[in-house]
Amino acid sequence: MSDEERYLAISPGAIVPEALPDFRIYIRSSGRYVLWAREGNKVSSDQLAKLAEGGLKEVFVDLKDQIKYEQYIEESLGSILENQWASGDQKATIFSSVSANVVKNAFESSLGLGTMSAEVMARTQRMVKNSLIFISESKSLQALAKMIGHDYQTYEHATKVLWFTVSFLRNCPEILELIQPGYQNLKEEKKKEVVRQCGVGAILHDIGKTFVPVEILRKEGSLTEVEWEVMKRHPLNGLSALLDTDLPMFVKKGILQHHEDFNGGGYPMGLAGMNIHVLARVLRIIDTFDAMTSRRPYKASVSPRETVKIMCGKPVGNGGQEDPEQDDRDQGMKRCFDEELLRKFILFLGNVKLDQ
Ligand SMILES: [Fe+2]
């Protein structure tokens, strides 16, 4: 095996100060691979500064350490986004490949959609990369980095919500017209920007969970009244974390109102019907769909088909009778959604399956 085949090129931006990667890192010098950092040794800011000065585009890990490297990247994703030695492009590239894998895993496991094609995978990477560039331009990167560091599951969920939101809205120009009046007459580039901004709202929708203690986020079993009150503050916390950013108003409204129910029973304000921003009504549907089809700390995952039934208010199991044992967090969902949007989303889901 030649040296080129033995080593995996990685981005220097993936190496964060004070990290303790359990694999060796090499640099290439005069055509030879030279050991740069030993496994288990902290990489110092000085070392990274020298690396950045040298202008190296890539460093290397042994191919046999690829799995360790991938685990390290997942664990360090929040820190990588805050890594001062990484360029914006390096961050966006690393972030998009980890995020695309999150979507791919969901496709192939809980959603049961089969293998994700290379084309859908590449499109997903582009979608996430574009969102991240926009997030960093709008000064909300730090908030996202904090959320990932706080709770990886919230990030995984947010990534899938991003994928569904962008894929769904691309098929529904009439909804985009409601989000951004005049959308249909915009130039192609501007249209893409509106969709991208909706995607940013989707990936940031639960950013306020950074302020909810992980013991509450990961709690198995019901929340106490006090814990529930803390949890219910996350849309407001999310808005306050993003208040000083340059995100468009519809993104901020989408985040603030993503737990408002169509029948007025949601939080934080108890808005109803069309008083809830249309992006928030879309997020309410997709957030619920992804939460139910994913494994939650307090409940096993539900199949996409059953999820759709529950969301439509149809009793499942128990011979079509109401199941009194059914989790009340799901029971209450029946009248949460804008029926018209839910119908469109279900049609879209049918097409996702046919695409595969
Ligand atoms: Fe939420």
CATH number, domain with residue 348: 1.10.3210.10
pLDDT value, residue 353? 64
CA of 95 to the centre of ligand 1 (A): 22
Note whether residue 81 is domain-resident: no
Residue 287 located in a structural domain: yes
Asked which of 57, 76, 95 is the last residue of a domain, the reply is: 76
- Kindly state whether residues 314 and 234 are assigned to the same domain: yes
Name the strand (E) or helix (H) holding 163.
helix 152-170
C-alpha to C-alpha distance for 91 and 97, rounded to whole angstroms: 10
Mean pLDDT of 78-105: 90
Q: Is the distance from CB of 65 to CB of 23 less than 8 angstroms?
A: yes
Both 96 and 46 in a single domain? no
**In the prediction, which pLDDT does 327 show?**
52
**Residue 55 included in any domain:** yes
For the CA atoms of 224, 268, 333, 107, what is the dihedral angle to 10 degrees?
A: -90
Is 153 in the same domain as 29? no
**In the listed set 76, 104, 134, which residue is the last one of a domain according to the structure?**
76
Residue 186 confidence (pLDDT) above 50: yes
Cα(334)–Cα(330) distance, integer angstroms = 8
Which stretch of DSSP H or E encloses residue 285? Answer: helix 278-293
Distance from Cα 341 to the centre of ligand 1, integer Å: 19
pLDDT over 90 (residue 283): yes
Ligand 1 centroid vs 25 CA: distance in angstroms?
39
Q: Quick one: what percent of the chain has pLDDT higher than 70?
A: 92
Q: What is the pLDDT of residues 21-38, one digit of tens each?
A: 889 999 998 889 999 888
Task: Please check whether residues 155 and 133 belong to one and the same domain.
Answer: yes
Contacts for 344 with CB less than 8 Å, ≥ 6 apart: 168, 172, 175
**38 plus 121 within the same structural domain:** no
How far, in Å, are 116, 159, 241, 259, 294 from residue 204 at the CA level? 24, 9, 10, 14, 18
Final residue belonging to a domain, choices 21, 45, 76: 76
Q: At what angle do helices 304-311 and 278-293 cross, to 10 degrees?
A: 140
Residues 68 and 132 grouped into a single domain: no
pLDDT of residue 320: 46
Determine if the peptide bond prior to 268 is cis (ω within 30°): yes
Ligand 1 centroid–CA 210 distance in Å is 11
Average pLDDT over the chain, rounded to an integer: 88
Beta bridge partners of 115: none
CA of 51 to the centre of ligand 1 (A): 40
Residue 297's pLDDT is: 65
Tell me if 235 sits within 8 A of 212, measured CB to CB: no
Query: Is 152 part of a structural domain of the chain?
Result: yes
- Of 355, 352, 1, 348, the C-alpha closest to 173 is 348
More confident residue, 312 or 344: 344
Query: Is a pLDDT exceeding 80 seen at residue 336?
Result: yes
Report the number of distinct structural domains present in the chain: 2
- In angstroms, rounded to a whole number, what is the distance separating the alpha carbons of residues 101 and 247? 26
CA dist 71 and 10 (Å) reads 14
Confidence bin at 319 (pLDDT 50/70/90): very low
**Residue pair 197/204 in contact by the 8 Å Cβ criterion:** no
pLDDT computed for residue 55 by the predictor? 79
What local confidence, expressed as pLDDT, does residue 295 receive? 74
Verify that 211 and 271 share a domain, yes or no.
yes
User: Residue 343's pLDDT is what?
Assistant: 96
Ligand 1 center to 97 CA (angstroms): 24
Helix, strand and coil in the chain, % to nearest 5: 60, 5, 35
Please indicate whether residue 202 or residue 47 has the higher confidence score (pLDDT).
Answer: 202
Task: Tally helices (H) and strands (E) across the chain.
Answer: 17, 4
Whether residue 251 is predicted with pLDDT greater than 50 in this model: the reply is: yes
- pLDDT score at 331: 52
Residue type, 179: I
Helix (H, G, I), strand (E, B) or coil at 302: coil
To the nearest 10°, the Cα dihedral for 186, 120, 100, 284?
Answer: 60
Residue 65 is assigned to a structural domain of this protein: yes
The answer to whether residue 169 is domain-embedded is yes
Q: Does any domain span residue 329?
A: yes
Looking at the fold, whether 23 and 155 belong to one and the same domain comes out as no
Report percent pLDDT > 90 for the chain. Answer: 57
Residue-number span of the structural domain to which 314 is assigned: 87-355
For the segment 249-256, the average pLDDT, to the nearest whole number, is: 97
Give the amino acid at 190.
K
Same domain, 30 and 111: no
Residue 82 domain flag = no
The reported pLDDT for the residue numbered 202 is 96
Question: Would you say residue 345 has pLDDT above 50?
Answer: yes
Say whether both 10 and 150 belong to one domain: no
Residue 317 pLDDT exceeds 70 = no
Determine the 3-state secondary structure of 326 from DSSP.
coil
Do 245 and 102 share a structural domain?
yes
Q: In angstroms, what is the span from residue 259 Cα to ligand 1's centroid?
A: 6
CA of 75 to the centre of ligand 1 (A): 23
Band of pLDDT at residue 250, cut at 50, 70 and 90: very high
Q: Please tell me whether residues 57 and 97 are part of one structural domain.
A: no
**Cα 273 to middle of ligand 1, angstroms:** 19
Per-residue tokens: 78: 């929040």
Q: 97: Cβ–Cβ under 8 A, 6 or more apart, which residues?
A: 125
Is 62 in a helix, a strand, or coil?
strand
Amino acid 356: pLDDT: 41
